[in-house]
Structure 1
Amino acid sequence: MSDKVYIFDTTLRDGEQSPGATMNISEKINMARQLEKLGVDIIEAGFPAASNGDFEAVKTIAQSVDNIQVAGLSRAVLSDIDRAWEAVRYAKNPRIHTFIATSDIHMKHKFNKEPDEILEMARKAVRHAASLTPNVEFSAEDASRSRWDFLVSVVEAVIDEGATTINIPDTVGYAQPGEFGELIRYLIKNVSNSSKAIFSVHCHNDLGLGVANTLEAIKAGARQAEVTLCGIGERAGNAALEEVVMALHTRKDYYDIDTSVHTEQLFPSCRRLSSTIGQPLSPYKAIVGANAFAHESGIHQDGMIKNRQTYEIMTPESIGKKGTSIVIGKHSGRNALGTKLKEMGYDLNDEQIADVFDAVKSLADKKEDIYDEDVEALVLEVAYRIHDLFKVKDLSVFSGTSGVPPHAAVILQDFRNDESNPVEIKDVGFGEGPINAVFSTINSLVGIEPELGLYSVNAVTGGADAQGAVTVHISENGLKSIGRGSDEDIIVASAKAYINAINRLERIKQEKKNA
């Protein structure tokens, strides 16, 4: 047996069949090129007989990539096989992938045919495909629920007819790792001509075992894994490419198996797919999720600071991510906060760190996410005792359909010259809407015009009288700040959040100047 597993990516075929993952031809070509950059061995580009659009996509992909095999899927129907060949023949290394079901339940209820008839259909299909290309793959659909002795007969027959890759799918995610591995061993041992073909597996994830079954099959002798980026696919999806590859990579001591995948392209590839199909990566997704290399627990953070191998079995750089994230939150430890503050450029003594630590804990009880800007603001407020420069005292806003532009009257308290005796400053300004009018007026009063990067509103509580929580992100000359405010009136909450962000921005500017 080879010490290499071929990675057969079916993101563009099985993956695209999942709800919400449809791609146009241009998107498929871009993904195919990224998969080539990733280093997969075979791309299953589509099902050419399914539609003219699928045919054109497979044909165009075959013409667009160079160093990768391109497969087209077909039923064990001669016209399907011809259509697949017409699409993939333009590839430098084309493959026809034909399939037919071999389980009793499929043969009876889907085909209404006897096993001998199915066997003959498989023979004819592979014989015809092999007359077009020497690169033929045969799949026994629903193999994990098929009779093992019948599978042996079918696999022997199609290898005799010219199949060079034999795929044993767990089509409905029914198999358990131990029995699936045993099935692969049984076939390799009992199929008389098994040495003439590479055995492959295609495992669905209905019971959450797609990756486990794939790895067990590899351990049993399978040398091709059919996978998708992020595990997308029909129903609960497929075995995830990044999980299979990194399991083999991280536990080479156990599997002693290589792949051709460039692991540092895993995260960029998954991120590209997420952007293309408009489905965000779950933060808890293995390997590529936002939390995969993030640590909030104080015990974990302390271990990571001392030696990252205490809690990370692979490096984020190995999959193409920038680095580990030490997340500051209510579970964080003081040591982690001190390290974080040093990374941010603050050299605080133990007493100051303790004050900031208590403030972080208090803030974490009130809000879900704590950003670096939050920590920085707490340093300035608690460690350096810098107070707010501005507060909202009053505001009124006009907006309607009368033709008069939206405008806002804002009164601020200005503490810049005297923290105990603020000066009232007021102005009226216009805007494209009521919020824009408020922000423009505040800019005029404080004398800066930061760039607004994000504005979001969320309900703090339910019901018609829910309090609104507003978050704004602003920046000026490369300095960033986050502000938050809450009120039953969204416009008032927006003004509070904007002033909060400006106060933080001004503190950052003052601290940078002092430093």
Structure 2
Amino acid sequence: MAKYSPFPPIQLPDRTWPNCTITQAPIWCSVDLRDGNQALINPMGPAKKMELFRTLVKIGFKEIEVGFPAASETDFAFVRELIEKDLIPADVTIQVLVQSRKNLIDRTFEAIRGAKSAIVHLYNSTSTLQRRVVFQASKQEIVQLAIDGATHIRDLARGSENPVRFQYSPESFTGTELDYAVEICEAVCDVWQPTPENKTIINLPSTVELATPNVYADQIELFCRLFRPRQSTLISLHTHNDRGTGIAASELGLMAGADRVEGTLFGNGERTGNLDIVTMALNMFTQGVDPKLDFSNLKEIRRIAEFCTELKVHERMPYAGDLVFTAFSGSHQDAIKKGFAAMKETGQDAFEVPYLTIDPADIGRQYDPVIRVNSQSGKGGVAFLVESELGFQLPRRLQIAFSQVIQRITDQTGKEMPAREVASKFVETYIHPPATLQYHSHTPIECDAEDQERYRFSVTYQGEKSEVEGQGSGPIDAFVHAIRDQYGLACDILDYHEHAMEAGSDSTAAAYILVRTPDGQELFGVGQHRSITKASLLGFIAAVNRSLQAR
């Protein structure tokens, strides 16, 4: 294909980043209010910008790019409001962007006057393509443009009443010859004279993602090797997502030696977006690394971001999407259910649940929507919802039977069945089916037979209340015989399970009774009561009523 050319590889045979891991959080800088805002269909007004600023502070960002005040009166006014109303916490530094033009730099310093801590972010484009097509300028002319801007910023900062930190971006770094990127950044640092105690930020943006993320990592590692004032600078990353690998590029860039990361919540930004800081930070969290950002109430953060940007977070967005903690597949549901059960049983701290990389509770999500039911779902998912909604721990055969009930419904409707509807259907089917036979009470009576017990049962059958008697090895067996003798209702008990539904001596008991009818049907009934005997009787009666309903 003559129309497109492969990106030239970086010659770095002794690269070290593949053997590195991310062990600590970078310095994070949110650019939601500048880079993110300029990419919106409807840019944020002052109220929305203020709400998002407060949210970013609450999350824990210590550096926030608040605008391009020299290019926008709205941004200028917003920066002034933050400063004049003392809305910037003492441990937060605002950052402002400016091109390398004297009049714009002057206006930028007007905007940050009085700020307790500010970063002036100077940039100019350095890529081969933009030098040729946009600026029609030589390498030296572009270097001089950067030097002139850096010099003017240095001179204005010397007269500032508050300290000003410096940041430089060779825009379109990834499309710039690496030796030239080093040259221009060194020229800027020669002006600013950073020290290990007063570091300059060198931001190396993947303004347009041009290659695979390993190439970006090579560029970062090689830049760090070649750059003379490396010990006096913070190397910052600013990736975009044109190839869909912005997060991977930033992760590998950190492994390659970078110190700082710029990005936005949920990846809002030009074209396909910026780095998604939420995803990258929570990726670290799942590896046991504290990201130093608080996403424990991610649902609320998402709500605010959607309101301010008027952009919806996709259902499949990592961590934040509506469906990312949802399993429809039956095998997935079964594995998730067993994983939660195993953690509960062992009481372990380590989160180990199949198909889930993070505990939903850690980011303010609930367990109940983790499993949802449609026509693709299996017994494990259905059983999980019944347990989470009602507390019943279904035996395996009942799981299979009830999942078939639900699948018939979802096959007919073609739609998802909400958890509450699943729970309601369980109660309707197994606990309270149409009540042809009703139990009221029972009392023991004298029995002459050895190893037998006799009981009198108060019941209603087909609307008529009466008392029936029966004997057997216990009250359940006696009731089986009583209704068989009195009404001809012959149901044999095949299987029986029980459990307490909560801790404590006065907890409710659940009983699961499987019966076989004379025509060979096998039907479950479920009962619950503080008395395990009454729970068992109610479960048996529910199964009998289901057999009568089936007739």
TM-score (norm 2): 0.66
Q: Is the 8 A contact 1:14 1:233 kept in 2?
A: yes
Aligned equivalent of 1:375, options 408, 422, 433: 422
What is the root-mean-square deviation of aligned Cα atoms in Å? 2.5
After superposition, the Cα gap between the structure-2 partners of 1:189 and 1:349, relative to the gap in structure 1 and judged at 3 Å, is closer
- The corresponding residue for 1:109 is 133
Q: Is the 8 A contact 2:382 2:422 kept in 1?
A: no
Letter in 2 for 1:376: A
Deviations 1:436-484, CA, capped at 9 Å, x for gaps: xxxxxxxxxxxxxxxxxxxxxxxxxxxxxxxxxxxxxxxxxxxxxxxxx
Q: Is the 8 A contact 1:283 1:291 kept in 2?
A: yes
* Displacement of 1:259: 3.7
Q: Tell me how far apart the structure 1 counterparts of residues 324 and 82 of structure 2 sit (CA, whole Å).
A: 32
Which structure 2 residues correspond to residues 392-407 of structure 1 after superposition, within 5 A? none
Q: Tell me how far apart the structure 2 counterparts of residues 152 and 347 of structure 1 sit (CA, whole Å).
A: 65
Q: Tell me how far apart the structure 2 counterparts of residues 91 and 320 of structure 1 sit (CA, whole Å).
A: 35
Q: Tell me how far apart the structure 2 counterparts of residues 348 and 13 of structure 1 sit (CA, whole Å).
A: 52
Deviations 1:183-234, CA, capped at 9 Å, x for gaps: 1111111111121110011111011011111111100011111110000001
* Displacement of 1:81: 1.7
- The corresponding residue for 1:359 is 405
Residue 215 of structure 1 pairs with residue 257 of structure 2? no
Q: Tell me how far apart the structure 1 counterparts of residues 361 and 426 of structure 2 sit (CA, whole Å).
A: 30
After superposition, the Cα gap between the structure-2 partners of 1:347 and 1:186, relative to the gap in structure 1 and judged at 3 Å, is closer
Aligned equivalent of 1:301, options 323, 326, 333: 333
- The corresponding residue for 1:99 is 123
Residue 318 of structure 1 pairs with residue 362 of structure 2? yes
Residue 33 of structure 1 pairs with residue 54 of structure 2? yes
* Displacement of 1:4: 4.3
- The corresponding residue for 2:184 is 154
- Aligned pairs, how many? 385
Q: Percent identity?
A: 25
Q: Is the radius of gyration larger for structure 1 or structure 2?
A: 2
Letter in 1 for 2:365: K
Please say which of residues 235-244 and 173-182 is displaced more in the overlay: 173-182
Aligned equivalent of 2:240, options 191, 196, 204: 204
Residue 24 of structure 1 pairs with residue 45 of structure 2? yes
Q: Is the 8 A contact 2:390 2:423 kept in 1?
A: no
* Displacement of 1:332: 2.3
Deviations 1:107-159, CA, capped at 9 Å, x for gaps: 12222211111101111212222332540111110000101111111111112
What 5-or-longer segments of structure 2 have no aligned partner?
Answer: 1-21, 158-162, 195-199, 341-351, 436-461, 464-551
Q: Tell me how far apart the structure 1 counterparts of residues 434 and 41 of structure 2 sit (CA, whole Å).
A: 50
- The corresponding residue for 1:236 is 272
Please say which of residues 333-342 and 95-104 is displaced more in the overlay: 333-342
- The corresponding residue for 1:385 is 433
* Displacement of 1:86: 2.1
Q: Tell me how far apart the structure 1 counterparts of residues 31 and 330 of structure 2 sit (CA, whole Å).
A: 41
Q: Is the 8 A contact 2:374 2:414 kept in 1?
A: no
* Displacement of 1:24: 0.9
Deviations 1:30-79, CA, capped at 9 Å, x for gaps: 11111011011211111112221121123223442213111111111122
* Displacement of 1:258: 5.2
Letter in 2 for 1:187: F
Q: Is the 8 A contact 2:265 2:277 kept in 1?
A: yes
* Displacement of 1:104: 1.5
Q: Is the 8 A contact 1:88 1:95 kept in 2?
A: no
After superposition, the Cα gap between the structure-2 partners of 1:332 and 1:186, relative to the gap in structure 1 and judged at 3 Å, is same
Partner secondary structure for residue 273 of structure 1:
helix
- The corresponding residue for 1:68 is 92
Deviations 1:220-251, CA, capped at 9 Å, x for gaps: 01111111000000110011011111222223
Residue 263 of structure 1 pairs with residue 261 of structure 2? no
Q: Is the 8 A contact 1:7 1:259 kept in 2?
A: no
Aligned equivalent of 2:219, options 153, 165, 183: 183
Q: Is the 8 A contact 2:385 2:422 kept in 1?
A: no
Q: Is the 8 A contact 1:227 1:240 kept in 2?
A: yes
Which structure 2 residues correspond to residues 500-515 of structure 1 after superposition, within 5 A? none
What 5-or-longer segments of structure 1 have no aligned partner?
Answer: 388-417, 420-515
Partner secondary structure for residue 338 of structure 1:
helix
Deviations 1:65-100, CA, capped at 9 Å, x for gaps: 213111111111122122222223343311111100
Please say which of residues 90-99 and 377-386 is displaced more in the overlay: 377-386
Q: Tell me how far apart the structure 2 counterparts of residues 205 and 251 of structure 1 sit (CA, whole Å).
A: 23
Q: Tell me how far apart the structure 2 counterparts of residues 222 and 353 of structure 1 sit (CA, whole Å).
A: 52
After superposition, the Cα gap between the structure-2 partners of 1:57 and 1:117, relative to the gap in structure 1 and judged at 3 Å, is same
* Displacement of 1:339: 2.8
Letter in 2 for 1:58: V
Letter in 1 for 2:419: D
- The corresponding residue for 1:142 is 172
* Displacement of 1:346: 6.0
Q: Tell me how far apart the structure 2 counterparts of residues 368 and 110 of structure 1 sit (CA, whole Å).
A: 54
Q: Tell me how far apart the structure 2 counterparts of residues 306 and 381 of structure 1 sit (CA, whole Å).
A: 26
Q: Is the 8 A contact 2:282 2:291 kept in 1?
A: no
Letter in 2 for 1:158: V
Deviations 1:295-323, CA, capped at 9 Å, x for gaps: 22222222222224222222122223234
After superposition, the Cα gap between the structure-2 partners of 1:193 and 1:204, relative to the gap in structure 1 and judged at 3 Å, is same
TM-score (norm 1): 0.70
After superposition, the Cα gap between the structure-2 partners of 1:70 and 1:349, relative to the gap in structure 1 and judged at 3 Å, is closer
Partner secondary structure for residue 331 of structure 1:
coil
* Displacement of 1:280: 2.2
- The corresponding residue for 1:192 is 228
Q: Tell me how far apart the structure 1 counterparts of residues 63 and 96 of structure 2 sit (CA, whole Å).
A: 10
- The corresponding residue for 1:489 is none
* Displacement of 1:382: 3.2
Q: Is the 8 A contact 1:29 1:64 kept in 2?
A: no
After superposition, the Cα gap between the structure-2 partners of 1:288 and 1:2, relative to the gap in structure 1 and judged at 3 Å, is closer
Q: Tell me how far apart the structure 1 counterparts of residues 229 and 275 of structure 2 sit (CA, whole Å).
A: 28
Q: Tell me how far apart the structure 2 counterparts of residues 156 and 266 of structure 1 sit (CA, whole Å).
A: 40
- The corresponding residue for 2:263 is 227
Q: Is the 8 A contact 1:227 1:239 kept in 2?
A: yes
